[in-house]
Structure 1
């Protein structure tokens, strides 16, 4: 019987860092499920690229800010996995989906805070909770945080605070899931040149140059700097890495 490939579920895998993570994980020999919020075409293109690498892949729509969707989503992927692999289990969960908010404390509205809370903490918490029965013992969870939990940049108070909450949650997951040999880690990317937040790091030359000037390796990050780190954490080689915050920033603001 052919050995089953391990499976990673990556939220927000249709573009940016999530896409890079999905491709890097597939390159490591894993099958991949990704979620997308609105752009099915982009998600389908990622699936096609993964399949061209010889791994299985599928994309599912999910608004990770709306926890009322989660039970149906879990049922959908369970049924898909059971039909495709004979088991409803996955091995790794990567909580990547997210949006940006740039607003000073003086101007932030309750509605803005609620939106960031729902996607970056409440959504992460309850999606993880509902997927726990599907994660194989010995698997892993990778949460995506931000360099903004360490580096205070004006305008990112809410975003940075929610990511700090995710970092604390990650340690609790590691503690509570240790009996199942499920590891939980968090990576914290520094400033990355993607379309995230309207592409401000990528497209604003002044911001790009300023970040490069305070980064030890002399440039802003690129998606390819991140995916391989996630792929490593989604591997047996990283089994003894647990409850860790790994900043992937090229030495930004050290």
Structure 2
């Protein structure tokens, strides 16, 4: 494996899944301001992905977009091949940071949740990060850093999240095991748990529905729903040397929701 002394050029490259919108996009942009180049994935909207690349270029940074369905593990070998090619375009063979951010929403209740939806959520939120990170381990520098994305719904229960919330709780448990087993390579693994964020996630319900937005604000100590710009800097910060001694930790970025 490549050795990362904290100053090697490849330690300044991040792979971010789901980087074309929402929290992922803000993370890519925040990393760019810190001099970190990114290879990010998008599910299907190439136009939005290209916009993110252009926004990064405007800052003087560099980002490359690759299509990937994180819920389709059969596509991972091909993705690794394409990622190697993308890293080559950046003059690198390895990278230093991984953000497992890509996700889909579920509004299923326990009583009405179906096997199909359970399988789909498992594929995207647990199986995907588990197997994709496995595939990427040979490309991650020793001394690198991984951030997984959970949700406040792993800590508290809310109606209609009986599949989504437990899946994110599983991601938090996975994070601790990853931190333990990757410790010999000095790879730190942490998990960020956003609260209700005003994006297009879940059909844009927090962003576009005034009643939902107000309900979130009323249950949040700091009095408003979150924004992608509240979360991206935290993820970027966790990947930096400033947080080099933080490992196996859950950090909720939610303004104090449901305290």
Normalized against structure 2, the TM-score is what? 0.95
Pairing 1:95–2:100 present: yes
- Give the whole-Å Cα distance in 1 for the aligned partners of 2:98 and 2:43: 17
Shift of 1:82: 2.5
- Give the whole-Å Cα distance in 2 for the aligned partners of 1:97 and 1:90: 19
Q: Does the 8 A contact of 2:39 with 2:86 survive in 1? A: no
Of 26, 35, 43, the match for 2:41: 35
Pairing 1:52–2:61 present: no
Shift of 1:3: 6.9
**Who is 2:80 aligned against?**
74
**Who is 2:184 aligned against?**
179
Alignment of 1:105-116 (within 5 A): 105-116=110-121
SS at match of 1:102: coil
How many residue pairs get aligned? The number is: 252
SS at match of 1:157: coil
Q: Does the 8 A contact of 2:64 with 2:86 survive in 1? A: no
Alignment of 1:1-254 (within 5 A): 4=9, 6-85=12-91, 87-254=92-259
Shift of 1:204: 1.4
- Give the whole-Å Cα distance in 2 for the aligned partners of 1:3 and 1:114: 40
Unaligned runs of 5+ in 1: none
Write out per-residue CA displacement over residues 140-194 of structure 1, whole angstroms, 9 at most, x where no aligned residue. 1100000000110011011011101110000011001111110000000000111
Q: Does the 8 A contact of 2:148 with 2:191 survive in 1? A: yes
Detail structure 1 runs of 4+ shifted over 6 Å in the superposition: none
Write out per-residue CA displacement over residues 56-75 of structure 1, whole angstroms, 9 at most, x where no aligned residue. 21000000000000011001
Unaligned runs of 5+ in 2: 1-6
- Give the whole-Å Cα distance in 2 for the aligned partners of 1:15 and 1:250: 21
- Cα 1:190–1:4 change in 2 (3 A) is same
Shift of 1:242: 0.3
Write out per-residue CA displacement over residues 73-117 of structure 1, whole angstroms, 9 at most, x where no aligned residue. 0011112213431x3201000000001000111111111111100
**Over aligned residue pairs, what C-alpha RMSD do you find?**
1.2
- Give the whole-Å Cα distance in 2 for the aligned partners of 1:121 and 1:235: 25
